[in-house]
């Protein structure tokens, strides 16, 4: 039951497409402005490039990791810029999938909370996030 996600059709956009062959950010523009929407890139492409270079090859479960120190839950912290860090899985979702609705959390469909494969990430509520953190505790112990 593998869902193959295609990339956004906007040239240079590395996000996965959600609707109409567009990522959600570009789809939002399309909805607002019609087919003449602004096709400029939305996320800093250099950060995507740097993130991609750090991504490991998929392991047997299809999980991808990036190196970095771990936070108290076992999530990888990824350096963005200006001394700002973000958890890598959350950043991966932002870069490759789309915006994260406030008060919702990026969780894993796999058991590896260090995983940044966008195909293994979904938006969950507080309960989902708590369960996700438990996986980290389990793996550490």
Among residues 31, 78, 32, the alpha carbon closest in space to that of 52 is found at 78
Nearer to Zn ion, 48 or 115 (CB): 115
Distance CA 130, CA 31 (A): 34
Q: Of the candidates 14, 66, 107, 115, which one interacts with Zn ion according to CB under 5 A?
A: 115
| Cβ nearer to Zn ion, comparing 19 with 130 | 19
CA atoms within 13 A on the CB side of 13: 25
Per CB under 5 A, the list member of 26, 29, 89, 114 interacting with Zn ion is 26
Which of 118, 120, 121, 132: binder of Zn ion (CB under 5 A)?
Answer: 120
The kind and range of the H/E element at 26 are helix 24-33
122 neighbors 59 (Cβ within 8 angstroms): no
- Contact with Zn ion (CB under 5 A): which of 14, 63, 76, 121? 63
Instruction: Work out whether 10 is an interface residue with Zn ion (CB under 5 A).
Output: yes
Both tokens of 76, joined, read: 């990888």
Place of tokens 């956009």: 13
13 binds Zn ion (CB under 5 A): yes
**Half-sphere exposure in the Cβ direction for 108 (13 Å, CA):** 26
Instruction: Give the residue with the Cβ less far from Zn ion, 92 or 117.
Output: 117
| Minimum distance of Zn ion from residue 5's CB (angstroms) | 13
Strand partners, 78: 86
**Pattern of binders to Zn ion over 85-114, x per CB under 5 A?**
-------------------------x-x--
Closest CB to Zn ion among residues 80, 110: 110
């Amino acid at each position: 039951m593998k869902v193959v996600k295609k990339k956004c059709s906007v040239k240079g956009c590395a996000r996965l497409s959600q609707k109409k062959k567009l990522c959600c950010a570009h789809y939002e523009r399309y909805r607002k402005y019609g087919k003449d929407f602004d096709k400029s890139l939305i996320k800093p492409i250099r950060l995507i490039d740097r993130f991609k270079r750090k991504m490991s090859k998929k392991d047997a479960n299809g999980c991808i990791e990036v190196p970095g120190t771990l936070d108290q839950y076992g999530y990888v912290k990824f350096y963005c810029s200006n001394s700002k860090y973000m958890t890598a899985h959350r950043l991966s979702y932002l870069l490759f999938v789309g915006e994260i609705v406030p008060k919702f959390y990026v969780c894993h469909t796999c058991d590896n909370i260090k995983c940044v494969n966008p195909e293994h990430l979904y938006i969950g509520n507080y309960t989902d996030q708590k369960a996700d953190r438990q996986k980290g505790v389990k793996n550490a112990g």
